[in-house]
Amino acid sequence: MVIFICKAFSCIVSKRKKVTWKLNIDGHSELIDKAGYKDDEDCRNFVRVEIAPKNGSYLSPDTWVFKIDETERPRWFSPSHEVVCWDAHKIWMKQLYK
C-alpha cells in the first residue's frame, strides 16, 4: 500500500473532466467521498491531483507544479484534464488569497 501526503490544493478529476475540490480540504479521501466515487483501482474513473509551489511556500510561491498523485497515469488522462485542474486551481487561489 502506497501512502501519499496531500498538498494544500488537492483535487480529483474524473474521466469526464469534472474537478472536485474544496477550500480547506487537503485529503483526497474526503474529496472522493464528497464526489460519491468508488475508490476501485481496477475500475477507477478519476485521478488524484495536486498543484503545489515548487519552493513549498504558500505565502511566497514561486512556480506552481502539477502532479498526478497516483502510482500510474491512466491512459484516458489527457492534456485537457490537466487544463481543467489548472482552472480549478485559479479559483482556489482567488478564494485562498482574498
Let me know: does 15 contact 59? Beta carbons within 8 Å.
no
- State pTM to two decimals: 0.86
Which tops the pLDDT comparison, 62 or 83?
A: 83
Mean pLDDT of all residues in 80-96: 95
Give the highest mean pLDDT range of 24-28, 76-80, 93-97: 76-80
Let me know: does 80 contact 13? Beta carbons within 8 Å.
no
Q: What pLDDT does residue 2 have?
A: 42
CA atoms within 13 A on the CB side of 89: 21
> In angstroms, how far apart are the furthest CA atoms of the chain?
40
